[in-house]
């Protein structure tokens, strides 16, 4: 997944939901983003009809609106996806640790439920998960040396 397309509007056209790439890169969820972007598109179009102005420059308000409302969240989800799923060793360690540790389960559940922002998740993982991950990696290096 590459995330949202670069331009979601042009003259007389607004793209919403999946058509615009509004899908959470980590969870695959898109209904919420489709509803938000559809609402923002409708608001933009109401104003365009009132002013009888459907030029791309007028409809660019839609792009600014969704970027303000959901843009950071969508971008961050793709960043997480790229960091986690492009390194399967990291992904496997993460899944193993989440399975074993209740605090990690709660953090990820809170993130997936929208109770925690990406920034909060990132902060937690840097200060709690990263040291444990590094320790596990170091231990695995020593165990592999002993086996050889």
Q: What integer pLDDT is reported at residue 16 of this predicted model?
A: 96
Q: What integer pLDDT is reported at residue 143 of this predicted model?
A: 67
Tell me whether residue 147 is in a domain: yes
Q: What integer pLDDT is reported at residue 148 of this predicted model?
A: 47
Residue 136 or 88, more confident:
88
Tell me whether residue 143 is in a domain: yes
pLDDT tens-place string over residues 118-148: 788 878 877 877 777 777 777 777 765 554 4
- Same-domain status, 44 and 96: no
- Same-domain status, 60 and 11: yes
- Same-domain status, 66 and 2: yes
Euclidean distance between CA atoms 39 and 135, whole angstroms = 47
Average pLDDT over residues 75-84: 82
Q: What integer pLDDT is reported at residue 92 of this predicted model?
A: 82
Q: What integer pLDDT is reported at residue 70 of this predicted model?
A: 93
- Same-domain status, 36 and 66: yes
- Same-domain status, 1 and 57: yes
pTM higher than 0.75: no
pLDDT tens-place string over residues 3-15: 889 999 999 999 9
How many domains are contained in the chain?
2
pLDDT tens-place string over residues 35-74: 999 999 999 999 999 999 999 999 999 999 999 999 988 9
Structural domain range at position 40: 1-71
Tell me whether residue 41 is in a domain: yes
Q: b/e for 104-142, b at 16 or more Cβ within 10 A?
A: beebbeebeeeebebeebeebbeeebeeeeeeeeeeeee
Burial of 57 (0-12, 13-18, 19+ CB in 10 A): exposed
Euclidean distance between CA atoms 1 and 9, whole angstroms = 20
Q: What integer pLDDT is reported at residue 99 of this predicted model?
A: 86
For all residues of the chain together, what is the average pLDDT? 85
Q: What integer pLDDT is reported at residue 20 of this predicted model?
A: 96
Tell me whether residue 95 is in a domain: yes
């Amino acid at each position: 997944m590459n995330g949202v397309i670069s331009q979601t509007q042009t003259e007389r056209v607004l793209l919403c939901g999946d058509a615009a790439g509004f899908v959470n890169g980590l969870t695959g969820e898109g209904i919420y983003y489709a509803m938000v972007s559809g609402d923002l598109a409708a608001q933009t179009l109401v104003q365009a009809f009132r002013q009888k102005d459907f030029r791309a420059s007028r409809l660019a308000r839609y792009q600014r609106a969704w970027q303000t409302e959901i843009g950071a969240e969508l971008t961050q989800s793709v960043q997480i996806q790229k960091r986690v799923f492009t390194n399967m060793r990291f992904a496997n360690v993460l899944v193993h640790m989440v399975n074993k540790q209740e605090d990690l389960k709660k953090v990820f559940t809170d993130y997936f439920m929208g109770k925690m922002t990406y920034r909060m998740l990132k902060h937690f993982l840097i200060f709690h998960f990263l040291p444990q991950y590094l320790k596990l990696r170091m231990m695995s290096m020593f165990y592999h040396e002993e086996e050889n």
